[in-house]
Amino acid sequence: MRRFMAISIWKMALIFGLIHSFGFANVLSDLNLTPANIAFSLLAFNLGVEFGQIVVVVIFSLFIFTITSEKNNKNNRLVPLFPVSSTAVMLLATIWIFERSLNITVL
């Protein structure tokens, strides 16, 4: 079952990435770029997205390591940051959904 789930998640991520890239390519086609420029723009976009994701994961990992380190874990002072940080991420995601869906600017 675990192997099946891993394959399914991988397939879903691939499909989502392809749809996302095709949407971006469609926007680029409106700019009347040559095929080489469209390919370069898609490559640059995808590399930028991947780099941004790596930066976010590194920052978040350092944050989690700091909170869960033995020194801070003894005092339990930083444990309440887990639900606060999760709530902040969910709130930001909700704002972005409304901004993009309704074509408005909230922040």
The alpha-carbon radius of gyration of the chain (Å, integer) is 19
The overall pTM is greater than 0.75: no
d(CA 46, CA 67): 32
Q: Give 60's pLDDT tier (boundaries 50, 70, 90).
A: confident
**Cα 25 vs. chain centroid, distance in angstroms?**
19
pLDDT, tens digit (0-9, with 9 covering 90-100), for 67-107: 777 665 665 666 677 788 889 989 998 988 888 788 888 76
Report whether pLDDT(51) > 80. Answer: yes
Residue 66 host element (H or E): helix 35-68
Apex 59 CA angle, 54 and 65, nearest 5:
120
Residue of 102 and 22 predicted with greater confidence: 102
Q: Is the pLDDT of residue 2 over 90?
A: no
